[in-house]
Structure formats: structure tokens, C-alpha cells
Amino acid sequence: MRLLASASHRLMMQRQGQWLLALLGMAAGVAVMAGVWLMQQALVGSIERATDLLAGEPTVSVVPDHGTLPEDIYRTWARQSGAPELYPIVEQQVQVDDQTMTLIGVDPLMGLGPSSALAGNPVAGQLVGTRQTVMSAQTAQTLGVAEGDQVVAATDNQAVTLDVAAVVETGPGLDQTLVVDITTAQEHFAQLGALSRIDAPIAARAWLQAQPNDGWSIITASEQRASAARLSRGMRTNLAAMSLLALAVGLLVVYSVLSFLLVQRRPTIAMMRAVGVQRGHIVSQLLGEVSLLALIGGGLGLVIGTELANALLALVSEPFDALYGHPAAHRVDPSWGVYGAIWAGSIVMAWLSVGGVLKEAFQIPPGQLVRDHQQAASRSRSWPRWALLPAVFGVGLIVAADQLIHALVGLFLVLAACAVWVPQLGFWLLDRCRHGLGRGLLYRAWTMVLSAQHRLAPALSALSLALALSAGVGMMVLGFRGAVDDWVSRLLQADVYLTTREDTITPTIKAALAAEPGVVAISTTRRVDTPDPFNVVAYGLPTPAWAGFDWIAQSTGMSEAASPRVAFDRGQGVLISQPLANKTERQVGELIDLQTPAGSRSLPILGIYRDYASEQGTLAISASLHERLWGKTNFDSLGLYTQGLDVSTIDRVLADRLENHQLTTPDEIQRQTLQVFDQTFRVSWALAWLVGMIASIALISALLAMGIEQGRAYATLRAVGLTQRQLGRLVIQQTLGIALLAALLALPLSVIIHTVLSVTIQPLAFGWEVPWSLPWTPWVMTAVIAACVGVAAGVYPAHVIAQKPSAQWLRQLS
Amino acid sequence: MRQTLIVFVIMMVTVVAWLNHRASDPEPADGTLSLGGLLGEAPANFETVTGPVAFEFPKDHAMHPDFRNEWWYFTGRLDAGDRPLGFQFTLFRFGLDTTPAPDDVEPSAWRTDHLWMGHLALSDGGLAGVSEPRFYQQERFARDGLALAGATESQWWLKDWTVTAVDDGWVLDLMGDGFGLSLTLTPTRPMTLQGDAGFSQKGPEPGNASHYYSHTRLSAEGEVFLDEGLSQPIAVEGQAWLDREWGSGQLSPTQSGWDWFAIHLDDGRDVMVYRLRNLDHTMSRFSKGVVVWPDGEKVSLDAEDFTLQPLRWWADDRGVEWPVAWRVEIPSQDIDLLVEPLFDDQRWDQSVAYWEGAIDVSRWPRHEGAPTPVGRGYLELSGYAERETPGHRASQTTPTQAP
């Protein structure tokens, strides 16, 4: 074994560049997977961990069913005999500079258990009754402040200057968070007498449940996290799928490089076999090398992945906040459990990925110093029928999927099968096209490629998958963007929208606006307070507003008087968005329960409309029903349908009647919506690029392998008069051809990915369907990228192959 | 090959070290809250104690918000049949230097000018052959905003921990996590004004003093709850001690801690002595004591009137050593006592590091044989954790009972 170890070491020293390439591929694959995994954890963990950190233990939360909790509840409970520790929380989203932060008002005298983030910090006592704040080191870094500095926390109409009393080293739960005394939060953000929630140790749940309930519910932190996880599931699963593909591509690199190294050491192995080294020893040697590679590459990948995760978090923080109403953590919080799992997994997968190489090594007969090309070529041309099984199974899973994971596994299986077939199809196509090329240099180049197809197949697969992924995701995103654009355009029927932060638009204001000569009609919107797990809005809809709905399904009334619109206006039914319909599996005509102050009401569903506003879905009731059941008459926003009305007229009407309002045009709303959309998918693009880069490494390594394996052919070409430049051009033609072939093969794959993402995964993840379309821009982009990758990937192998003296090639190979 | 191996090892060690650094949880705090800022030299807006004042009762049972620090301090020994017990309940108040609400802002109900800390402990001596001794302790904090804590003439409370004044004493209703007690305490002798009519000088500077009075002997009767059966109250009776004290920065910066003894002797006398320790470990000349006779007559003691000699040290799990057994000599009162803890581990390991526990008192053995029990009481040891572990966060002036 010592002899074999020495042989491995010698090879490593001789081929440092190739080993480095393999290391890079492994590290890159693991890095992307670890990065996405850690980022996902951070996204879920970024919600509701602040209290746990402050309390020093897991907590449950008492949350109001409507609005806020009166602080008297806290007083009553805290003074009851046997009361557990109770943590009063006042929470407020604020802006500090351009950053969205969560300002948490706490009683610093509570939650000072030994594990608390503030335990042992004298500032805990000093916070009481002062305008000071404590923040995590990461928050301080984000804001560029230190102890003793000041920050201004502001909402639309309030602001307070806070002294930074302490910066604490703690978990990421306190990132993007300013901890202040509860008095500061209440006094400066109009929360007097109110609490956002009351937290308590988990053991206190039974005690809390025994208290008389007056409009509150108990949820545990794990439930909150689960809720957050559900909400952000769509975004995270898309990323997870891509991270797995990245790892798969990374492993193809490992396979490719090891395969390349095997070519170079074939004579050595044959020689060792000839002198009596057993096959098992050879396989052990190769496995040891792979393990070493995976150990180092995996470790480096974890390091890079951790930093990558932080970078990805920065990319998703804005859309996460916009979509889920909570700032994302700014850094990941890895544990050895996660690191260990990824590391061990990558080693095992590396072993599996080199199964083919091991098999090949196993079969090297003693003394056979070169490979039988004809045999390898004929073997590799046989179509692997076994790949039909995962393909069929995958398609079945996708078609029958009622859970997101099923659809993702199905897609993965289909892509895996395609990855097996892609090279076969590609080389078959190449073989057919080759005959039309005459007998020139290009023909020679393609023939060499075909003879090395066994070596090039993984790289072709990797590149095709990466390009297909980029194009497929791009098509899905562009198709989705187009759908959102159409939806917003259709939805916003009014000419100008008047909005306020709270329900401060009174019927009087509405009447005053309606009395203006240029105002044709007014629609009204109000968010409804309800404990239901979906959004409820109350709409007052004039005739032109109804054109804004893109109906998925509508009840069919027998007459005008019984039409859905009339029934809605009378409060005899509700409209629900498509995500809500999908999540609750409800159809038009069925009843849906609505929690109202007057008790639970079952109302028929009059229509289902397309909506991309929220994942949890929206239920719309008429303004009249809202007024009847909730007794509230004010509105959050108005849509003004005008004819020749000057906006200044609206300002004049509102001048003395309404403060803090905003007038927005549909164009502006549309622009803002698409901006959030684009931010949301920035991370998808970033990952697609990363996968593409890894695939490029795969291609380079494969071409190097081909160069070594076909050294004799190259040397012969040089010997018969091909110049270095011509030989270099031949190599680049080969790489460019392979890359374009990969792009061609990626086209159908990208359509598969796009279709499954749009038609199956989006509805399962978010509840909405995206109308299927076929944007062609990503294909053009893919072709251009493939061409660039092809040329770039060919430069180094061309240099290596062209520079090597032909005599040396021939000497080595004879 | 060896060189390659070294490079590989260095690389792996670096990677693992980096990952370990990222995977490490933040260093947990040691759980000791430093309230040094609150207990150091009091801001000028607090009054200082500079001489005796005429106490008014029940008014002086309530809080004195003009002074920085104040406490209501109960200790006592109880018996549940053959099971010896001890209890401590202390309510600490610390005045805060807060920022007033802006003029244009309506103040929150949580606004407070005081921080309150409650310490509840129960020392269970166990039943011979049945259960082991156990020390229960719980600490709580609160503000007096929203009436979460406070002290009036009729009630002292911190959330649900309440001490309610009744006609002839106080009712303690204190339920902690896994233990609790409900006791009625009735004074059996007149109140004792410590020092000079309640003026207790603790250091050389004006203001190094407190107002201090005690009920040295209260009969105790009621129930305790232990986690072995919280729903099964255990009937107890015994004797307790109440100390009331308030002031502003009463300890001198040259003092490092104190050893305080409160002893009920079987002959009816109550003995209180404390040794203030200087930073150089010598006994401060401001150490004092008192012997209270059954009729309430008191004999004040100065530092030279008594000697306190540590006999045995007990090391806690942090390695801090506490002198838990003592010889107490007051020659003028013919008192020579052997003081031993009910059990050793009665150390507080919450925000403040100190040892406070039940003690058994015997006559100092002049001959061979078992010492003769002559009383019981409480012992408080403060300032040892700071001395033994210089980096410790606990304040030099820990907010335990300053005698």
C-alpha cells in the first residue's frame, strides 16, 4: 500500500494543475450547495429568534387575534400567584438610514436568564427608561455604528434618536434588530398601552392556556418558524433545487477530472497490474485519492459556501422583507451538524460519482498500456435504456404531484435521465452532421471529438444541464414577469390611487372626492382584521373596477339580478384569489368560513381571480358586508376613475381633511411591483451563473482529458505539418463545437424545466399558476454564453496541446 | 511526501479551525449581572444618610424613593417535623437615573424610576436516610412601572411575590419555580433600631451609612412547597428575622465584602454580628454587632467586642472558597459559639455571587465530645467570588444585605 500511496503522491506532484482543477470543481459544487442550505436556514431562523435570544430559552408567544394586546393583560397575569416569567414585546418596523430594521421594545429586566443575549451585560439595567439601544455586532456593522454613536429610527411619521449603548456578540436572531426599552417603543411609536405580544418560556404554555381568553392565541416559536418556513417555501425550494444541480455539476467535474487522471496513469496501472498488484488495491488507491479530494475540496467548499451564503442573503434580504414583512438575517449561523452533514454527504457523493472511473480502472488488464478506443467508442454509443426508468417515474411524479417535494424529485429524476441521454443524443447528432463537413480540418476535429465521446460525455452533460437550467429559469422568470406585468396592468383600472398607512380615509372624504366634477367613480379598499390565516380585504367596486379581475372561474348567474357581481355587492358571497383556492382546495359555489366579530360566517364563493399579491391568498368581501359585520366605515385606499381631472384638485380636496396620504399612478405601482419582482429573482440568476461557471470548469477538465487521451492524434497532426496556431484553432473549434452542441441540447431541456417550474412547481409552491409562454430571449442568451464558454474553455487546452512538442507526445505514447 | 502531508495537515487544520470559528455559538455570558453602575457612588440627585432620623411607622415600612438602595430582608429557620429548613426572601430596590419622557410625549405606563430584584431561597436540610439536602433559589427582576413591583406601608411585592402587612405581622406568599412558601410571621419582641437609633455607619466618608432597623425574632408558621410534591404543602413552623435598610452608596470603596451572622439562641437572646472586610483582608473598624435580649433590650457591639474566626472553607463548582464554619466569640456577653452550615452548598449562583444559608449553632466545645446545640440562624458571606476570581463580573458592592 505504501507503494501505491507513493504512486498517488507522485502523480499529484506531477499533475498539480489537474488536481487543482478537481479540487476547484469539488469545492465549487459543495460551496453552492452549502451556501444555499445555510442561507435557507438563516431565512427561516431570522424570524422570531430575537425573543429566544433575549430570553435565553425557547419561548411561546401570546399574540392578539386583532390588532394589539392591552398591556393590562400583562399586569394581571404577572401578578397572579404562580405566574411564569412573561416577556412583554412591542415590535415596530423602522428605517435606519436606508435599512429596514425591527425595533423591539422589551423590558430588559425580564429575560436575563443565564443564556440571555444580555445576561452579564450591565447595559441591561441601564436601558430601563432611557433612549438607548442594544444591537448585535452584525447590525452595528451594517449601520456603520459603534457604542456611543447615535442612530435615528424612523417610521413614516415618527422618529427617535437612540444612543447605541452596547453592541453584543450574539446569534443572528438579533441581526437587523434594535433592542430598546419598552417605554421608548411605546412612547415614540404611538403604541401606548399596547403590546405586540407576550412571550413566555415553553413550559408556561399550560399556565397561559388556563387564563381566560379574550382575543389572543398562543403560538410557539417553532410554530412561528414553521409558518415563516411555509411562507418562504416557494423561494427556498427553487433555490434548493438549483443548489442540488450545482452539486451534481460539481460532481461531474470531479468525475471528469478523475477520469482525465486515469487516462494519464493508465500505463502505470497496467504496469502495476503486470507486477502483481491486485485490482482491489488499485481501486482502494483511487478511492483514497477521491476521499482526499472530497475532504479538502469539501472543506474549502464549506468555507466558500459560508461566505457565499452571506452574499446570497444580501441579495435576498430586500425581496424577503418586501414579500414576507420581516427583515432577513444578514449572516448565516452555521453549526457543526450542518457542516458535518454537507461534508460527509459530499464525500459519499464523490465516491458514487467516480463509480464509472473505478469500473474502468478495475478492468485495466495487466500490461495494456493504451486504451482500446474502438471498444470504448462502441460501448459508449449504446443508449442506456435503464435511464428510462427514472425518466418515466419522474414524469409520473410531476404529473401526479400534490406536494412540492414530489414535483422537485420528479424534475430531478427527469433531468438525471436527460443527463444520461444528452451525450448520446449529442454525439449521434454530431456523427450525422460530420459527413456534411467534407474531409477538412473541421471534419478531423469532430472525428476526434467523437472518438473521445466517452471522456467528453460528463462535460457535455454538465454544460447542457447548466445552460438548460439558466435558460429554463430565465424563461420561467420572464414568463412569470410578463404574467405579473399583465396582471398589474389589468388590475389597476383606476387613474390614480390614494393610499394611507392606516384606515384614515373617511366616507366624508370619499364623498368630497366623488363630488368633484372630474371624478367618474371611486373604488375602495380596506384591509380587514381577522384571525383567518389569509388576507381579507373589503372592496367597494364600481362598474369599471370589475374589469380588473382576471377570472379563473366565476359562478354563472341566471339573470343580471343574480349575477356574481350583484351578489358580491349585496354581501351574499365572497371572491377568493387563486392561491387561496388552491391551498384550501375550494371551488366556485362552495362555502368558505370567515371569522368576524359577530362570529364565524359561511359564505359562498362567487368567483376565483388570478392574483400574485400574496402566497397565503386573499379573500375579498364587499365594503357593505364589512361595514355590516365589523361596523367600520373607513378605508385604507381609494381608486379614482377620472375624466379630465387635474391631480392638484385632489390635493386641494384632501388638504385639510387627510394627513400622510399618497397619490400614486398605476404606472408607478406597476414599476414598484416589477422592481420587487426583479429583486426577488436576482438570487436565481446568481445561482444560474454559478452553476454555469462550475460547468465551464467541467468542460475545461474534459477537454484536457481529451487532449491527453488523443495526444497521439494531435502529435500526428503536428507531424504532418499543422502549425501550432492551426492546432490551437482546431482545439478551439472542438470546444466551441461542444459548447454549441451543449446549448442545442439544452434547448429542449430548458423547455422541460420552464414548463415544470411554471405549470407544476409554481402552483404548488405559491398557489398561483403562471400562464405558459415561450420567451425566446433566454435561448439567445444561452447560445451567446455557450459560445463564450466554448472559446474560453478552449484557450488553455489549446495552449497546452499546441505547445507540447509532437516528438514528446509520440515518445510518451509509443 | 512528508512535506505534502504537512501541507495537507496545515490546510485541513486551517479549514477546520475556520469552520469551527463560524460554527461556534457566541460565548455564553456567565449569568452574573453586574449592577455595579447602579450600586456605585450614587448620583447627586439621591439623598445620603448622614445621621439618625426619627423613624415613623408604618410609613417607614414603605419605600424611600429619595435614596439609592433599599431592601426588605427576611431570613428564618423552619422545621417540618424532623426536617430542618431555612428560607430567605429579599426585595431589593435600586434607584435609576432615567431619561424623562419628552414634554410632547405622553409617558408610557412602563416608565419607572426604580429597578427591583427579588431573591427567594429555600434550604432543605433533607430527611436523614430519605432525602438529600437541597438548596432552592430563584431570582426575579421587575420595574415598578405598571405596578409590577413596589413597597407600600401595607404590601411589599415583586409581581406575584407578595409580603402583606396584617394586624400583627406579615404574610409571605412566595411561589417560585419548583418551590415556594406561604408563611405568617409575627414579631415576638420589639423592633430593634440598629447602630445609633437606626443610623448605621459603614465607612469613613459621610454617606457611607444607612438607616437600619430589624425585627430580630418573628414566629413563623405556614407551609412550604418543594418540587417533590408541589401540590402537597408541608406544614412548617420556626423563627424568622427581618432587616430593613436604605441608603445611598453606603459602603466605602476600600471594603471588599462582609460576613454577617443572625443567630437565635435557645436562651432567648438574638445575636447579630458582621465583619466588614477591607480590601487588604483585614477587619474594618466599622464592623458592628448587637445582642438583643428577650425583653427587647439591646447591647451594641463594636469591632473590638467580638471575634469571628473562619474554621472551614467550602469550594463551590467554580473553585471559589467560602468560609462556611466559624467560631463566634463575644466575651462580654459570655458567648462562644461554633457555627456550622445546615449543609455547605447554599451558594447563590444567579446575577449576584454570594453565599447565604441556614446555620446550626453550638456552644464552643471546650472538652471532647459532641458540641451542644444552643441555637440556629443565618449566615451571609459576600465578596469572596470577586476576590477569588478577579475577572468575575459581580460587583464589589454586591446588592446583598449590607449589614
Yes or no, beta carbons of B4 and A83 under 8 Å apart? no
User: Is the predicted pLDDT of residue A121 greater than 80, yes or no?
Assistant: no
Q: Structurally, how many domains does chain B consist of?
A: 1
Q: In terms of residue numbers, what domain contains B244?
A: 52-98+107-388
CATH number of the structural domain spanning residue B282: 2.40.370.10
**CB–CB of B386/B392 below 8 Å?**
yes
More confident residue, B257 or A793: B257
β-pairing, A618-622 vs A535-540, is parallel
Residue B233 C-alpha, separation from nearest chain A C-alpha, in angstroms:
14
Yes or no, beta carbons of B160 and A306 under 8 Å apart? no
pLDDT value, residue B392 = 32
Yes or no, beta carbons of B175 and A300 under 8 Å apart? no
Give the residue-averaged pLDDT of A57-71: 77
pLDDT in tens, A515-534: 888 888 999 988 887 767 77
More confident residue, A564 or A614: A564
Residue corresponding to grid cell 487516462: A263
Give the residue-averaged pLDDT of A635-652: 83
Give the residue-averaged pLDDT of A567-596: 88
How far is CA A119 from its chain centroid?
36
Contacts of A75 in chain B (CB under 8 A): 146-148
Let me know if residue B165 belongs to a domain. yes
User: Is the predicted pLDDT of residue A676 greater than 60, yes or no?
Assistant: yes
Q: Identify the residue among B30, B110, B172 best suited for mutation to test binding to A, counting A beta carbons within 10 A and taking the highest.
A: B110
**B57 inside 8 A of chain A by CB:** no
* Structure confidence at residue A503 as a pLDDT band (50, 70, 90): low
pLDDT value, residue A224 = 54
pLDDT value, residue B90 = 95
**B15 inside 8 A of chain A by CB:** yes
User: Is the predicted pLDDT of residue A580 greater than 70, yes or no?
Assistant: yes
Interface of A with B in 307-336 (CB under 8 A): 334-336
Give the residue-averaged pLDDT of A165-174: 73
User: Is the predicted pLDDT of residue A504 greater than 60, yes or no?
Assistant: yes
Average pLDDT value for chain A: 78
pLDDT value, residue B388 = 42
**CB–CB of B57/B98 below 8 Å?**
no
* Structure confidence at residue A328 as a pLDDT band (50, 70, 90): low
User: Is the predicted pLDDT of residue B252 greater than 50, yes or no?
Assistant: yes
ipTM over 0.85: no
Least confident residue range of A327-331, A453-457, B126-130: A327-331
pLDDT value, residue B396 = 30
Yes or no, beta carbons of B108 and A183 under 8 Å apart? yes
The C-alpha cell that represents A40 in the structure block: 435557507
Residue A313 C-alpha, separation from nearest chain B C-alpha, in angstroms:
16
Yes or no, beta carbons of B12 and A299 under 8 Å apart? yes
**CB–CB of B266/B374 below 8 Å?**
yes
Contacts of B15 in chain A (CB under 8 A): 296, 299-300, 302-303
Least confident residue range of A164-178, A279-293, A373-387, B78-92: A373-387
Count of CB contacts below 8 A, A vs B? 151
Let me know if residue B3 belongs to a domain. no
Hey, which residues does B117 pair with through a beta bridge? B92, B141
Yes or no, beta carbons of B110 and A107 under 8 Å apart? yes
Nearest by CB: B110 against A80, A121, A182: A182
Residue A32, phi then psi, degrees to nearest 5: -65, -40
More confident residue, B172 or A516: B172
pLDDT in tens, A448-501: 888 777 767 877 887 788 788 878 888 888 888 888 888 888 888 888 888 876
Cβ within 8 Å of residue B185, ≥6 positions away: B74, B76, B169, B170, B171, B172, B218, B219, B220, B240, B242
* Structure confidence at residue A381 as a pLDDT band (50, 70, 90): low
Judged on CB neighbours under 10 Å (0-12, 13-18, 19+), B62 is: middle
Let me know if residue B74 belongs to a domain. yes
pLDDT value, residue B91 = 95
* Structure confidence at residue A114 as a pLDDT band (50, 70, 90): very low
User: Is the predicted pLDDT of residue B309 greater than 90, yes or no?
Assistant: yes
User: Is the predicted pLDDT of residue A96 greater than 80, yes or no?
Assistant: yes
Nearest by CB: A339 against B23, B110, B145: B23
Longest dimension (CA), chain B: 92
pLDDT value, residue B285 = 87
pLDDT value, residue A4 = 67
**CB–CB of B95/B65 below 8 Å?**
yes
Choose among A499, A496, A489, A490: nearest CA to A516: A496
Q: So where are chain A's domains?
A: 1-52+230-369, 67-214, 406-492+667-814, 496-664
User: Is the predicted pLDDT of residue B263 greater than 90, yes or no?
Assistant: yes
More confident residue, B253 or A557: B253
Highest-scoring range by mean pLDDT, A40-44, A102-106, A321-325, A796-800: A102-106
Cα distance between residue A737 and residue A442, in whole Å: 10
Let me know if residue B36 belongs to a domain. no
How far is CA A457 from its chain centroid?
30
* Structure confidence at residue B400 as a pLDDT band (50, 70, 90): very low
Yes or no, beta carbons of A122 and B159 under 8 Å apart? no
Cβ within 8 Å of residue B61, ≥6 positions away: B151, B153, B156, B165, B244
Q: Identify the residue among B16, B22, B96, B350 best suited for mutation to test binding to A, counting A beta carbons within 10 A and taking the highest.
A: B22
* Structure confidence at residue B26 as a pLDDT band (50, 70, 90): very low
Give the residue-averaged pLDDT of A698-717: 69
Let me know if residue B7 belongs to a domain. no
Hey, which residues does B362 pair with through a beta bridge? B338, B373
pLDDT value, residue B75 = 95
Question: For the CA atoms of chain B, what is the radius of gyration?
Answer: 23
Let me know if residue B403 belongs to a domain. no
Highest-scoring range by mean pLDDT, A333-342, A627-636, A685-694, B112-121: B112-121
The C-alpha cell that represents B227 in the structure block: 418540587
Nearest by CB: B34 against A81, A122, A192: A122
Give the residue-averaged pLDDT of A726-754: 85
Yes or no, beta carbons of B15 and A81 under 8 Å apart? no
Cα distance between residue A709 and residue A456, in whole Å: 11
pLDDT value, residue A784 = 86
More confident residue, A770 or B228: A770
Contacts of A292 in chain B (CB under 8 A): 8
pLDDT value, residue A262 = 66
* Structure confidence at residue A560 as a pLDDT band (50, 70, 90): low
pLDDT value, residue A54 = 54
Residue B63 C-alpha, separation from nearest chain A C-alpha, in angstroms:
19
Residue A636 C-alpha, separation from nearest chain B C-alpha, in angstroms:
26
Q: What is the dihedral of CA A595, A597, A601, A604, to 10 degrees?
A: -80
The C-alpha cell that represents B141 in the structure block: 427582576
Q: Identify the residue among A30, A109, A160, A310 best suited for mutation to test binding to B, counting B beta carbons within 10 A and taking the highest.
A: A109
The C-alpha cell that represents A487 in the structure block: 396582471
Residue corresponding to grid cell 434550604: B123
Question: For the CA atoms of chain A, what is the radius of gyration?
Answer: 32
Choose among A774, A522, A544: nearest CA to A639: A522
- Kindly report the number of other CB atoms within 10 A of residue B6's CB atom: 10
pLDDT value, residue B31 = 38
pLDDT value, residue B215 = 95
* Structure confidence at residue B1 as a pLDDT band (50, 70, 90): low
Yes or no, beta carbons of B20 and A336 under 8 Å apart? yes
User: Is the predicted pLDDT of residue A113 greater than 60, yes or no?
Assistant: no
Q: What percent of chain A has pLDDT over 70?
A: 78
Give the residue-averaged pLDDT of B137-154: 90
pLDDT value, residue B403 = 38
- Kindly report the number of other CB atoms within 10 A of residue A492's CB atom: 21
Highest-scoring range by mean pLDDT, A58-62, A165-169, A650-654, B326-330: B326-330
Distance between the two ends of chain B, CA-based, in angstroms? 72
User: Is the predicted pLDDT of residue A720 greater than 70, yes or no?
Assistant: yes
Nearest by CB: A120 against B15, B29, B112: B29
* Structure confidence at residue A780 as a pLDDT band (50, 70, 90): confident
Q: What is the dihedral of CA A718, A722, A723, A726, to 10 degrees?
A: -120
**CB–CB of B213/B57 below 8 Å?**
no
Let me know if residue B201 belongs to a domain. yes
pLDDT value, residue A810 = 59
**CB–CB of A61/A217 below 8 Å?**
no
User: Is the predicted pLDDT of residue A248 greater than 90, yes or no?
Assistant: no
pLDDT value, residue A172 = 61
Interface of B with A in 382-401 (CB under 8 A): 393
Give the residue-averaged pLDDT of B360-389: 83
Task: Reduce the DSSP state of residue A67 to 3 states and report it.
Answer: coil
Yes or no, beta carbons of A296 and B108 under 8 Å apart? no
Percent helix, strand and coil across chain A, each rounded to 5?
60, 15, 25
* Structure confidence at residue B182 as a pLDDT band (50, 70, 90): very high
Residue B251, phi then psi, degrees to nearest 5: -90, 145
Contacts of A12 in chain B (CB under 8 A): 4
Q: Identify the residue among B2, B9, B30, B33 best suited for mutation to test binding to A, counting A beta carbons within 10 A and taking the highest.
A: B33
**B250 inside 8 A of chain A by CB:** no
Interface of A with B in 250-279 (CB under 8 A): none
User: Is the predicted pLDDT of residue B166 greater than 90, yes or no?
Assistant: yes
Contacts of B106 in chain A (CB under 8 A): 187, 192
Cα distance between residue B138 and residue B358, in whole Å: 16
Q: What percent of chain A has pLDDT over 90?
A: 3
pLDDT value, residue B180 = 92
Cβ within 8 Å of residue A125, ≥6 positions away: A108, A109, B33, B35, B37, B38, B94, B96, B115
Give the residue-averaged pLDDT of B364-393: 75
Q: What percent of chain B has pLDDT over 90?
A: 49
User: Residue B149: closest CA among chain A residues belongs to which residue?
Assistant: A79
Residue B34 C-alpha, separation from nearest chain A C-alpha, in angstroms:
5
* Structure confidence at residue A378 as a pLDDT band (50, 70, 90): very low
Cα distance between residue A306 and residue A294, in whole Å: 17
**CB–CB of A574/A619 below 8 Å?**
yes
Yes or no, beta carbons of B106 and A187 under 8 Å apart? yes
Contacts of A339 in chain B (CB under 8 A): 19, 23
- Evaluate the omega torsion of the peptide bond into residue B390 and state whether it is cis, within 30 degrees of 0: no
Yes or no, beta carbons of A125 and B23 under 8 Å apart? no
The C-alpha cell that represents A440 in the structure block: 477538412
Residue A23 C-alpha, separation from nearest chain B C-alpha, in angstroms:
13
Residue A631 C-alpha, separation from nearest chain B C-alpha, in angstroms:
29
pLDDT value, residue A223 = 55
A18 dihedral zone (left: phi>0; alpha: psi -120 to 50; beta): alpha
List alpha helices for A275-385, DSSP H: 279-324, 336-353, 355-362, 373-381
